[in-house]
Amino acid sequence: MEIEIKLLKDREVDQKNKASGYETLLRDGIPLNEHFLALKNKFNNEQDVLKNNVSIMAKEIEKEENANK
């Protein structure tokens, strides 16, 4: 029972933190369009990094597979 209460409290805190992030976007006086562009750029940059990591790992796996043969 105590664990369930703790989990519910943690979930409530997480939801409040997520909501406060949106409120911050609205309060800072910067147009939402600018925020969306910044988030899009950040997403694209992180996606590129992750795609590069995937390709590097795929090459390493291929090298290991060839070495095992």
25 with 35: CB under 8 angstroms? yes
Q: What is the pTM of this model?
A: 0.53
- The span from the CA of 45 to the CA of 51, in Å, is 10
Across the chain, mean pLDDT equals 85
Domains of the chain, residue spans = 1-30, 31-69
Q: Which residue has the higher pLDDT, 31 or 47?
A: 47
**Higher-confidence residue: 26 or 55?**
55
